[in-house]
Amino acid sequence: MPVPWTRTAAVTTAAIAVTACGAAASASPAHEASASVVDATVITEVAPSGLKVTAIAVEYDRVLKLGGTGVDVDAFDVEVDLGAGGIAPLVGERTVTAAYTSDTPDITGKQRAGRYVILELDEDDAAATASYVDWSTTITHYYDLAGGYTVAQVGDIVSPRVTVDAQPGNVVANSDVENLLIDEYASGTLATEAGPVLDYRYYTPEKSGEKKGKKYPLVVSLHGFGESGSNNFSQLAGNQISTVFASDERQLTDPAYVLSPQADPFDGTKGAWWAPQMQEAVIDLVEDFIASHPDVDTSRVYLTGLSMGSYGSWAILGEHSDLFAGAVVVCGGGVADVEAAAAELADFPIWAVHSEDDFVVDYYADGSDFRVFEAFEAAGTPVVWTEWSGLLADDTQEALAKAAVKEARHSGSEHLFTTIESGTTPIFSHLSWIPTYSNDVILDWLFDQDQDR
């Protein structure tokens, strides 16, 4: 039986009647048809540590008009039950941190009349993740989120204007998933001259209102081994190496194209980024993309890679540095001849970040980015060395990075190396990309590089 949704009637006339005893009769509240939950949409975002479910949009069968009154976060229960072959299912409760009505199934933080109640969820919940790792391959996989979340309105939604009664027996599973930012990337596939057929995703900057002839930088990102595969998704969802450049905040200051191909080490026709044919395929892709997007600013093409992607970045820069204006490499290695790399890239701007206790890509190994920067300095190329804790507050890390940029300008250095102190990398020691792509100053430095300057 439908649960009634009532609105208190406004008294629009003078007193209706007065009894002989002098008591006034009050008007009865008006009743409207019930408002029921009919569907839900799970909303994901790429957090520094990977893809998380950060909200759920609860859809009603009619518009809710609560005025400025917010929604009690305790009025909803959100449950997770996700399964994946060969691993334990992810089951748990989600913590609602904010709730408000909306006319679209989007995270806005603002209350407005609409058919949706947006429930923002705690990113630190154990069940917040949307991915899991197959440790036999170290590849990250993603849960099928469709139908994996259920939501029920277990408490009344009360405002001076309207009350939506609880409907705890009406438990609804989500029928849809919205991947914020990721869904804004287009997909492509290129049969490269180098041989591999390369899948890629790309983000196009907002151009409305821009003057005719405006040029846009291009950021090329090379993911790590864990994001390998053939889904053309993981290179965006695994961490922020790509999406940080497409975020609203970054695009506001530095509107740019973002190009993110995916490698597949388990496909003999492709390979990892350290495979020469895949490095040449990346160059083919970049050149093809520039040719098909004449508004790319060819003096401001940037390269960034982490872990396996940094191996590829070093190799690509050794042969094709003239195509790029600057690079950020994270936990890098695999450089066959550090002295030759130091000579080739003496004038090429590079900022490298590596955790000193990285147990996956050894900080001190032959061919590591640290060894390349040692070779820079040995050859007389100035280097700005910095070291800080990856657990410091973001604004503190950015202040330290800003000091490094100032020192680099003073010394005329194009090469900055940041060590993340042992024991201070978030989650575990290989993930030095978390403090890297969370640091706006490092990204600002990259966008300041320009071959025409």
Output DSSP code: residue 73: G
- Cα separation, 169 vs 152, in Å, equals 7
Each residue's pLDDT expressed in tens, for the chain with a length of 453 residues: 333 333 333 333 333 333 333 333 333 333 335 899 999 999 999 999 999 999 999 999 999 999 888 899 999 999 999 986 677 789 999 999 999 999 999 999 999 999 999 999 999 999 999 999 998 899 999 999 999 999 999 999 998 888 999 999 999 999 999 999 999 999 999 999 999 999 999 999 998 777 788 999 999 999 999 999 999 999 999 999 999 999 999 999 999 999 999 999 999 999 999 999 999 999 999 999 999 999 999 999 999 999 999 999 999 999 999 999 999 999 999 999 999 999 999 999 999 999 999 999 999 999 999 999 999 999 999 999 999 999 999 999 999 999 999 999 999 999 999 999 999 999 999 999 999 999 999 999 999 999 987
Radius of gyration of the chain (CA): 27
Q: Is 255 exposed, middle or buried (0-12, 13-18, 19+ CB in 10 A)?
A: middle
- Taking the C-alpha atoms of residue 361 and residue 339, their distance in angstroms, rounded to an integer, is 20
DSSP line for 416-429: EEEEEPTT-SSSST
Domains contained in the chain, CATH given: 35-179 (2.60.40.2180), 182-448 (3.40.50.1820)
Distance of alpha carbon 82 from alpha carbon 79, whole angstroms: 10
Spatial separation of the C-alpha atoms in residues 119 and 78, rounded to whole Å: 9
